[in-house]
Amino acid sequence: MWQKIAGFIVVVLGIIYVRQRKRTYTRELANDQYDYIIVGAGTAGSVLGGRLSEDKNVSVLVLEAGGEEDTHPEIEIPLGCGGLQNTHLDWQYRTVPQKHSCFGYHNNQSRWPRGKVLGGSGMLNYMQYYRGHRQDYNQWEKSGCTGWGWQHVLPYFKRSENMQSEADMNSDLHGTDGPIKVNRIQETQLANSILNAFSQIGLPIRDPSAESVEGVDYMKATVDDAGYRSSTLRGFLRPAMHRENLHVVTQAHVTKIIFEGTTAVGVEYVKNGKTHQVTAREEVVLSSGSINSPQLLMLSGVGPKHHLEELNIPVVADLPVGDTLLDHLFAEFVQFSVREPLGLTFDRATSFSQIVKFLARGTGYLRIPGGQEVVAFSKSRHQPEDEERPYLQFLAFSGMWGMQPGVDDAINNVGWTPETFDALYGANDNRDGLGILPVLLRPKSKGTLRLNTTDPLDHPIIDPNYLSDIEDVEHLIDGIEQLRRLVNTSAFQEIGAELYDPVTPGCAAYPYATRSYWECFVRHHAATLYHPVATCKMGGSDDETAVVDPKLRVRGLRNLRVIDASVMPTLPSSNTNAPTIMIAERGADFIKESRSCRVRSSLCEQ
């Protein structure tokens, strides 16, 4: 019953919000030719569509496989952000059964949510806005990605950012007039206790965008002043869709890049069961993300030669597409019950007073992205002593999993076996408490992405190879041990916090809380944090693992770029949404510079 009531409330809120919006609509079909074709209207594609169409002298087409359902209430209201996984708005990808992890999930598989909707994964994510450590980008430049050092990328982070937190607005590290609203999230009293507890185990309270990322802070998230999701679709693409030179077509699944020799001249797409072709006078740009972009390249003959030949795909370019898959992974919640009713429960979050707060002022529990209010970055005792970047991130939820109705949906979304979910979360219904996820930021384990068949509608073979390197296990165990220390802080003792430690099914044979037990725990629960990168890796001319060059052009080919998270050569020490926006901003400038050179017939640096 509660689920029905909550659904009604969310729908009503969504309708109110949608009616306040001035909608602009997509086109049914594309024209025959454009200057630029952008494949994918996700986080990166929305930026590109908005930026490139600023030039009235060019025509831009954006093709999106998903539909125009970006105003779905559960998308818009931050607290419900996880509710659309495993639905028709999600590609519903699965990894192959993992050999070293995911033992607590159905068939040892991690589910990989990816947005199949206008706005892409930016409509399904948890809205966290973090850039990573400056050394991430300095290392990119040192590895051959010229022009990608911190001093080069910071202006692009700032250009898109509209920081709303007064504590951060005056910092020279933040932008305040970009299209992406970023707000500080702190709505429950429990968040204060969590923040102070991290401080008491040695993590300073500070902005993770500062020179040293290590520390703890209230969550920074892409949430606007009205309390709704802010995204590149809202900030870049929708405001531009009135332009005559920008066309957006949804339900258009691009199945092939069309080449003439080694020059990309257009794409083929399927809509309503019919195949269409459209050509590009200037460039084709893939912005479909770390799964769809490499899949489309390989279907079109760009990828590892031996793999393409196995599938009888004519080879256009022999490149290491899909060879260096990287992903952040978490090791399941460390849970604490608390005596004081200071955080989220389902009944509390959907109370009349909270609904009024949200509608009237854009504040309250419904504004909290998935229940997360505090983030911390910490070094692992196993990482190299001379490494500045933290290896661990902690994501603190001001409530406990299992407190929400619709448990069957939660199980299906994440992929737990019923036995695992019941053991860990089955007793949490409206229990006061919190959960904190330990996240590994710098995994050594690498995986691959390969085609399953030549059918563009078939999902590719995703093998992240999680925890194949034992060092990854050690870092996550250290993260668990750091989190368990929180129970001894005065901040947690004041609220009666106690470790809630149900035994993981499959690990009962190991003495509890020993290293062997925690390794079993990690291998059962480690799964994706939804941050796959490097499947179309960027690199210098001498990097044999690189697919695109530092200007994001596909190596050895003309008029084809990849601009999305797949080009990251390594994982940033943070969530990947903000870095993806930065890459798209920078990529848009690369394209504009190339056009300017061609128009002037000048010998610009290429």
| Residue 520 falls inside a structural domain | yes
**Does residue 5 have a pLDDT over 70?**
no
A 10 A CB-CB count for 279 gives 16
Band of the pLDDT at 2, cuts 50, 70, 90? very low
β strands within 120-208, DSSP E: 161-163, 180-185
Domain that holds residue 108: 93-113+183-229+327-528
Q: Give me the residues paired with residue 434 across strands.
A: 336
> For residue 271, what pLDDT is reported?
97
pLDDT band at 83 (very low <50, low <70, confident <90, very high): confident
pLDDT of residue 598: 81
pTM score, whole prediction: 0.95
Predicted pLDDT of residue 52: 98
* CB-based burial label for 176 (10 Å; 0-12, 13-18, 19+): middle
Find the mean pLDDT for residues 31-60: 97
Count of residues in the chain:
606
Q: How many domains does the chain have?
A: 1
Domain presence at residue 498: yes
Q: Render 6-44 in DSSP notation, one character per residue.
A: HHHHHHHHHHHHHHTS-----BSS--SEEEEEEE--SHH
How many helices (DSSP H) and strands (DSSP E) are in the chain?
Answer: 18, 23
Query: What pLDDT shows up at residue 481?
Result: 97
Quote the CA–CA distance of 549 and 145 in Å, as a whole number. 7
**pLDDT (mean) for 363-368:** 95
pLDDT of residue 597: 87
Task: Kindly tell me if the per-residue pLDDT of 8 is higher than 50.
Answer: no
pLDDT in tens, 474-515: 999 999 999 999 999 999 999 999 999 899 999 999 999 999
Q: Point out the annotated binding site.
A: 117, 254
What per-residue confidence (pLDDT) applies to 4?
44
Residue 373 has pLDDT above 70, yes or no: yes
Query: What are the catalytic residues?
Result: 531
pLDDT band at 150 (very low <50, low <70, confident <90, very high): very high
> pLDDT tens digits for 302-338?
999 999 999 999 999 999 999 999 999 999 999 999 9
Instruction: Give percent above pLDDT 90 in the chain.
Output: 80
Region 119-141: what's the mean pLDDT? 96
CA gap 217, 373 in Å, rounded: 9
Specify the CATH number for the domain of residue 492: 3.30.560.10
Answer whether residue 232 shows pLDDT above 90: yes
Per-residue pLDDT at 413 exceeds 80: no
What pLDDT is stored for residue 25 in this prediction? 75
Q: DSSP letter string over 382-408?
A: TS-TT--S-SEEEEEESS-TT-SS-HH
Residue 428 has pLDDT above 60, yes or no: yes
User: Is residue 146 included in any domain, yes or no?
Assistant: no
Q: Do the domain assignments include residue 455?
A: yes
Instruction: Extract the annotated binding site for FAD.
Output: 117, 254
Within a domain: residue 391? yes
On whether residue 218 sits in a domain, the answer given is yes
pLDDT 10s digits, 561-603: 999 999 999 999 999 999 999 999 999 999 999 998 887 776 5
| Average pLDDT rounded to a whole number, residues 109-123 | 94
Is 198 inside any structural domain?
Answer: yes
d(CA 409, CA 413): 6
Measured distance CA(10)–CA(192) in Å, rounded: 27
Distance CA 171, CA 157 (A): 13
Residue 381, both tokens: 């005792």
Average pLDDT over residues 117-133: 95
Q: Cα–Cα distance between 414 and 452 in angstroms, integer?
A: 23
Residue 39 lies in a domain: no
Tokens coding 107: 């068939």
Over the chain, what is the mean pLDDT? 92
Average pLDDT of the segment spanning 358-367: 92
Q: In the prediction, which pLDDT does 84 show?
A: 82
Helix segments in 331-433, DSSP class H? 346-349, 352-361, 407-414, 418-425
Give dist(CA 450, CA 132) in Å, integer.
28
Q: What is the pLDDT of residue 21?
A: 53
Which pairing describes strands 334-337 and 498-500: parallel, antiparallel, or unpaired?
antiparallel
Flag whether pLDDT at 112 surpasses 90. yes
Residue 606 is predicted with a pLDDT of: 53
